Structure 1
Amino acid sequence: MNHNKYEVVLDHACQLGEGPVWDADQQRILWVDILPGEIHSFYPASGEHRIFKTGQMTGAIALLPSGNFIAALQHGFHEISLENETVVPIADPEVHLPENRFNDGKCDPAGRFWAGTMAVDERPGAGALYMLDNDQSVSIKVENVTCSNGLAWSLDHQLLYYIDSPTRQVVAYEYDVTTGTIANKRVVIQFQEEDGFPDGMTIDEKGMLWIALWDGWKVIRCNPNTGERLQQIDLPAARITSCTFGGDSLEDLYITSAKTGLSQQELAEQPLAGCLFIVKNTGIKGIPTHGLPKP
């Protein structure tokens, strides 16, 4: 089933838009533009759009109870206050790998922040997936990663779903919510070359995965139990990067995209590349954003 009622949220194109997060408390959508190191916030009710520059490439953010963020920047984990305009380092597990940067990240059901890395030049196997625990210790979860991307946890908190984009796979690990340990990797969804590359993803209240397809022009909804494709949202940009549910009832799907790496001809053919899109009233609810716990 196709669903094509997308709208453009605002007249701004990111180089590499990614990592959308719905902030229910402030009724705003947040996302990052990785390459210039920007955190974007947009308030649908007022139409206000704010941009904060972090000073380095910015892969992902997660909400803190204080209203601040944990961010995965090029050089490690930081706490960021948009109000105070501060960027405070927490830990850099790859201080010895200055040619790497952090990419996608997300909080797990226990409030730990997971984020993965990749080489800036995208060389194979240079990255890893890390977990920042609630005591701010960092552990490595998956090694030999090329482009660490989408993360989601099953509704019963028994599985971690994960994407290393060049594999064209979504894999599942058995996941222990108490300790954060993962084990027994298996492939649950396999994409083909014509699909593009799986990128960011989110999960809905029925446990189905919504997966953005880089160079695939779409978001697809898949059943991770069977691999079945349930529906797709076709979009006017090739490089679709991630998605998340937002709005009052968590039935609006926000979708990020990118224009980096496109030729002049491709940019002319895709004037909306890099924009933030929304599909309103999907009829399916997301789940509330996992955030870090109150101390």
Structure 2
Amino acid sequence: MPTAEQLTEPIAEHGEGPVWDDDGGRLLAVDLEQGDLLAVSPQGDVRTRHIDDVLACVRPRREGGWVLAARRQFAVVSSIEELLAGREEPQMLPPLWDDPDLRFNEGGCDPQGRFFCGSMAYGGSAKGGQPVGALWRLDGDGSARVALGGLTIPNGLGWSPDGQRAYHVDSPSGEIALLHVAPETGEVLDREPWVRLSDALGDAADGADGATGVPDGLVVDAEGGVWVAVYGAGVVLRFDASGALSERVDIGVPAVTACTLGGTGEGEAGTRGGSVLYVTTSTQGVDLAAHPGSGAVFVLPVEVAALPPLRYDG
């Protein structure tokens, strides 16, 4: 089983939402409940900008700039570089709810340029662990609506290379599901199980402390493989397009939150002709004496090529 290497020092209380910034040649991620944007170079240098009391997800826009999901509202910026330098402030869109127990979580764009992002209850709130979350859809005109309700901890979301299949995680379900999304309208027509971690791994889905690992963030590669971070088990798993387990990567810390693929591909020093797997991790609920690397970004060169992140058309 390959083992990822620690790229950075611990840089986040709860690292999440990694995405490759092609133009900047770097990884972008978030320290979710601190509301910080993290920009990480391939050498492990880090720049940080505080955005809000929560920053859940960041994705590129088709015409340049980025779309963000803060605590309860979307936002857009024209330049990550200007944002990091303090010369630009996010343009916040209207709040979508008033409930203080809810916040945004992970998301991603579809091939048509709509930005989907999940909402959930804070774990320590009165609604924590209840199915009060939703998958929100931000259309190109800036309007937002609930695309799918009844979720608990909506997490990773990604599309197949041909744009025909959407993979989605609601973590407590223990599975990666298929979302059937109407391409013309963005309406979610159905959600069905695709891979259950317990079926794929059995007892190997459990972490060393006995806690059951659950699926968290995911990314889809150029061959249609789905890489999923398994929170609590300290691993990232790859399932091929048929749903068969094809690779298991040991991260070395238990709270593995999300993953993405990036880098310049074949020929880059340190790669094996493919791309680089980037993995974010968390310190929350972790014995830091036993796992001092928690909160760092981890990396592993892999043989499969990355897909460029889908972009928001707004």
Task: Work out whether the TM-score is over 0.5.
Answer: yes
For 2:311, what is the secondary structure of its paired residue?
A: coil
Deviation string 1:92-144 (CA, Å, 9 cap, x unpaired) is 32x23221000001111122111001101333111100110001111211111
For 1:156, what is the secondary structure of its paired residue?
A: coil
- Structure 2 distance, partners of 1:42, 1:169, is 30
- Structure 1 distance, partners of 2:179, 2:117, is 16
Deviation string 1:262-286 (CA, Å, 9 cap, x unpaired) is 2xxx211111111101102x11112
* AA partner of residue 276 (structure 1): V
Match of 2:28 in 1: 30
Comparing both structures, which one devotes a greater share of its residues to strand?
A: 1
Aligned pairs for 1:117-128 (under 5 A) are 117-121=119-123, 122-128=128-134
1:57 aligns with 2:63: no
Give 1:164's match in structure 2, choosing from 135, 159, 170: 170
Which has the higher mean CA deviation after the structures are superposed, 153-162 or 29-38?
Answer: 153-162
1:76 aligns with 2:96: no
Whether the 8 Å contact between 2:38 and 2:49 is mirrored in structure 1 is yes
Aligned length: 285
Give 1:17's match in structure 2, choosing from 15, 21, 41: 15
Whether the 8 Å contact between 1:60 and 1:105 is mirrored in structure 2 is yes
For 1:286, what is the secondary structure of its paired residue?
A: coil
Give the direction of change, closer, same or farther, for the CA distance of 1:98–1:224 in structure 2 (3 Å limit): farther
Structure 1 unaligned blocks of 5 or more: none
* AA partner of residue 164 (structure 2): Q
1:278 aligns with 2:310: no
Give 1:109's match in structure 2, choosing from 107, 111, 114: 111
TM-score, normalisation: structure 1: 0.91
Aligned pairs for 1:124-143 (under 5 A) are 124-143=130-149
Q: Matched residues, percent identical?
A: 30
For 2:218, what is the secondary structure of its paired residue?
A: strand
- Structure 1 distance, partners of 2:62, 2:192, is 34
- Structure 2 distance, partners of 1:88, 1:49, is 24
- Structure 2 distance, partners of 1:285, 1:36, is 32
Match of 1:230 in 2: 246
1:3 aligns with 2:27: no
Whether the 8 Å contact between 1:127 and 1:144 is mirrored in structure 2 is yes
For 2:140, what is the secondary structure of its paired residue?
A: coil
User: Deviation of residue 292 (structure 1)?
Assistant: 2.0
- Structure 2 distance, partners of 1:224, 1:144, is 27
For 2:90, what is the secondary structure of its paired residue?
A: strand
User: Deviation of residue 65 (structure 1)?
Assistant: 4.6
Deviation string 1:218-268 (CA, Å, 9 cap, x unpaired) is 00001353x321110011110111111111116111111111122xxx211
Match of 2:37 in 1: 39
